[in-house]
Chain A
Amino acid sequence: MNSTTAPKFYETKKFRENVRLTFVTLLLLAGSTLILMPLWWMISTSLKSPAEIAQYPPSFFPEKLNFSNYVEAWQTAPFTRWALNTLFLATVGTIGSVLVNSLVAYGFAKIRFKGRNALFVIVLSTMLIPGFVTMVPQYILFSKLGWVNTYLPLLVPAFLGSAFFIFLLRQFMMGIPNELVEAAVLDGAGHLQIWWHIMLPLTKPALITVAIFTFNGAWNDLLGPLLYINDESMYTLQIGLQTFKGTVQTQWHYLMAMSVSVLLPVILLFFFFQKYFIEGSNISSGTKG
C-alpha cells in the first residue's frame, strides 16, 4: 500500500472484509434454499388433502391449507402421552450422557493411569461391531435382568458412557493445556474439582454438541423403544409415526404433519442452545492472551 496517499475506498481493509462477508452470506443463502427444499416438501405435503397428494404432477403449494391434518393426526393415537414419554427419555438420557461421558473422557484425557492407552483402544473397538449381531444377546441379557417393558434398557446405558462421545470429548479435552490442570493440582484441587470447575466450563461448546446429538438420537430412536417396550402406553413418538405407514396405503398427510411436529422441538432446541456455543469458552484467549 502506498503510504503517501490515502488508500482508495476499495482498497481499505474494511471494504474488502465487507465484500468477503457479503459473498459468504450469498453463498450461505443459496445453500440454504437447497437445504430447505425437503422441509418445504414435508410442510407442503402435511397441509395437503389426501386427494391432492395423490395428484400428478405434484403441486408445489397446497391448494388449500388443511391445518386440520395436524389436529387429526395428533388425535389418531395417544400422541400426547407418547410425546411426554419421548421427552422424558431424551432429557434424562441427555443429562446422563453429558455428565458421564465428560467424566470418562476427562479420565482418558487428563489422568495418567496404568493401562490407559489399552483401555482406550477397547473403547474405540466397541464401536466397530455392528449393533445387530449383539442385539439379540443384549435383549436376552436385559430380559434376564427383568428390564423388558421398562425404560431401563434405554436409560441405563446412557449413564454408562458411549464410545463415540467419550472419544469426542477426549479430543476436545486434549486440546486444553495441561498447565491448567497442573496449576490446579498445585493449588490442592482434586480431579473432580478440576473436572467440574475447569474442564466443564472450558469444553462447553463440546458439551452442548454432545447434548444436542444425544437428545436428537434419543428423540429419533425407533429400534430401542420398539424392542424393549411392550406396552403401548409407554411408546415413543417414532413408533407412533409408524402407525401412518400402512401395509396397503400410507397416510402421507398425517405422516408428514406428525413428522413436522416431531421435528419442531429438536430444531427449536438447537436454535436456542447454539447461543451457548458462542458464549462458551474461549480457552486460548483466556489462558494465553
Chain B
Amino acid sequence: MKRGLAFIIAVFMLIGLLAGCSGENKAEADKTKDGKIVVDFWTFWGSETRRPIIEKIIDDYNSSQDKVFVKHTFLPWGDIWTKNLASVAAGNPADVIVNDINTVAQRAENKQVEDLSQYIDDSFKQKFHPHLWDTVEYDGKSYAVPFNTDTRLLFYNKTAFKEAGLDPEKPPATWAELEEYAKKLDVKNGDNYERVGFYPLWGSVGASSWMTNADSGKGFIEDGELTINTPKKVEALNWILDWKERLGENTVQAFQAEFGSEQANPFIAEKVAMWVDVGTFYTQLRDYGQDVDFGVAPIPANEEGSGNWAEGGGFVVEIPKGAKHPEEAMDFIKYLTDVEAQKYWSVKNYDNVANIEAAEAALNELEGPDKMVYEATVKNLKQTKMFPVPVEYPDYHSRLNPHIDNALLGKTSPEEALEEAEEDIAKMKKE
C-alpha cells in the first residue's frame, strides 16, 4: 500500500516537474528574439468564437510591420480588471487592455490610464460615433479609444402577432401600444400563463432603462446635477409596478426563475412574445431559434415624440498607467480601431463597432436577417444614450438600485424610494 502511494506521488511529481520546468521559461522579455518590441495586449476574449477573430486581427497587425510584436493574453471577464489594477499599482501593467466604456473617467481620475491626447487629433476623433467618443474624454483630455458598443432593441414574435390578430409589420411604438399589444399576446390557461406578451424587466433591460427612456433620455446624474427623483422616473416605476400587478408576482417569479440559469431563453422558447435585448441576441436566435419568426424595432417611446431611448454599453481600448511602450501601444490601438480591423470584428462577431465607416462597410457585407437586425442596431445608435459613471458619484448604481428594488417590491412608494435615493447619493458625493 505504502509503496503504491509513494509511486503515485512520484509519478505526479515527475509529470508535474517536467511540466513546471518547461513552463517556467520566462517570456516576459521586452523584445522578441528578432529584436521586435513586445506589446502586451490583455483581453477577455478567450472563447472559441471570439479568440480566433481578435487573434487574426493581431496577426495581421504583426505582419503589417516589423518593429512591434503584439502578444495577446486572455484573462477572464471581471478578474482581468482586478489584475490590471494590481499590475498598475506594481508598475508592470500590460501595454494595451480592453476595458469598460462607461467608467473611463473613473480610471482617468484615479490615474490608472495614460493620457492619449498627444497621439490624437480631431480627424481621428471624428471617425467614431460621437456619443461613444464623449465617454473617453475627461477634463478635456482623451484617455481611451472606443472599440465596440451595443444598443437595445425590441424583438417581437411575428407568429404570435398573427395569432393575436396584430399586424406583424407594425410593432408597438409607444408604451401605451406596448401594453395594449402585450395584453392581446398573453395566452392563459386557467390561472397559468402559457405565454406572456411582455414584461418590462425581462431581457437585457432593467428598471433604470425604462426610467431614463421615460425621462426623454435623461440619466440619473446630468452635468453633475442629480436627476433621480423626477416625475417621469416615478411614472416609469409605477408603470412597471402595474405590469407586475397585472401578471402577478407568481408568474413573474416563476418565469424569472425558469430562465434565470441563462441556459434557456423564454423568447427563443416562444414563451414570451416581446423581449428587449442587445443586438447580438440575434446570434442566439439564429443558432437556437431557427423556427422563431421575429422582427425588431426600437424600444417604444414613453409617449409619442419623447424618443425611443435605449441604454448603451461597450468597451474601449486603453493604455494602463505606467505601460512600458505607450507609443507602440498607441500605434496598435489605432490599427485596432481603424476601418479594416473594425469591419472584420463587426462582421465576424455580429457586433456594433465604434468606427462609423467600419459599421457602414460591415452593413454592406451582410444580407438577409443578418442585415435586417444589424441595420436596426446601427440606426438605433442615434437614440442610444451612454450613462458614464460621474467621478463625483462613483458608486451611485449600488446606492440607487436597492431603493428601486424596494419600490418594486412594494416596500416603499416610488416617490419615497427615489427621494431617499437622491438623498443617499447626495450624501456620498466625492469632492
Contact = CB atoms under 8 A, between A and B. Distances in A.
Interface of A: 45, 50-51, 53-58, 76-77, 81, 84-85, 87-89, 91-92, 95, 135-136, 139-140, 143-144, 148-151, 222-223, 226-227, 230-234, 239, 242-252, 254, 275-276, 279
A181 B82 CA distance: 49
A56 B259 CA distance: 9
Nearest to B50: A246
Contacts of B85: 136
A87 B19 contact: yes
A200 to B, nearest CB: 13
A51 B20 CA distance: 39
Interface of B: 1, 5, 9, 12-13, 15-20, 23-24, 26-28, 40, 44-51, 73-77, 79, 82-83, 85-87, 89-92, 258-259, 262-266, 268-269, 271, 278, 280, 283-284, 287-289
A121 B74 CA distance: 41
Contacts of A88: 15-17, 19-20, 23
Contacts of A222: 76, 79
Contact of A251 (B1, B16, B47, B289): B47
3 smallest beta-carbon distances between A and B, as pairs: A88-B16, A84-B19, A242-B76
B16 A91 contact: yes
B77 A227 contact: no
A232 B42 CA distance: 11
A56 B90 CA distance: 48
A144 B15 CA distance: 30
A89 B17 CA distance: 9
B264 A139 contact: no
A84 B77 contact: no
B274 to A, nearest CB: 17
A143 B288 contact: no
A245 B77 contact: yes
Contacts of B289: 54
Nearest to B150: A248
Contact of B13 (A92, A250, A254): A92
Contact of B271 (A54, A56, A243, A254): A56
B324 to A, nearest CB: 13
Contacts of B265: 54, 56
Contact of A50 (B28, B50, B89, B287): B287
A87 B16 contact: yes
A4 B19 CA distance: 74
Given A249-B284, A251-B47, A92 B259 contact: no
Contact of A230 (B5, B20, B73, B258): B73
Nearest to A73: B48
Given A55-B269, A56-B258, A56-B266, A248 B288 contact: no
A276 B5 contact: yes
A243 B74 contact: yes
Contacts of B91: 143
A233 to B, nearest CB: 6
Nearest to B22: A233
B264 A58 contact: yes
A87 B13 CA distance: 8
B264 A53 contact: yes
A275 B2 CA distance: 11
B27 A231 contact: yes
20 contacts: A50-B287, A54-B268, A54-B289, A56-B264, A87-B12, A88-B15, A88-B19, A92-B13, A136-B85, A136-B86, A139-B86, A143-B90, A149-B27, A151-B23, A226-B79, A233-B23, A234-B23, A245-B47, A249-B283, A252-B263
Contact of A149 (B17, B26, B50): B26
A80 to B, nearest CB: 10
Nearest to A143: B90
A234 B45 CA distance: 18
B92 A91 contact: no
Given A50-B287, A50-B288, A92-B16, A57 B76 contact: no
Contact of B89 (A56, A58, A136, A246): A136
Contacts of B1: 275-276, 279
A49 B166 CA distance: 35
A55 B264 contact: yes
Contacts of B15: 84, 87-88
Contacts of B284: 54, 248-249
A144 to B, nearest CB: 8
A95 B74 CA distance: 30
B49 to A, nearest CB: 7
Contacts of A76: 48
A91 B79 contact: no
A251 B263 CA distance: 9
A111 B16 CA distance: 35
Contact of A53 (B17, B27, B73, B263): B263
Contacts of B77: 242, 245, 247
A90 to B, nearest CB: 8
Centre residue among A54, A58, A275 by max chain B CB count within 10 A: A54
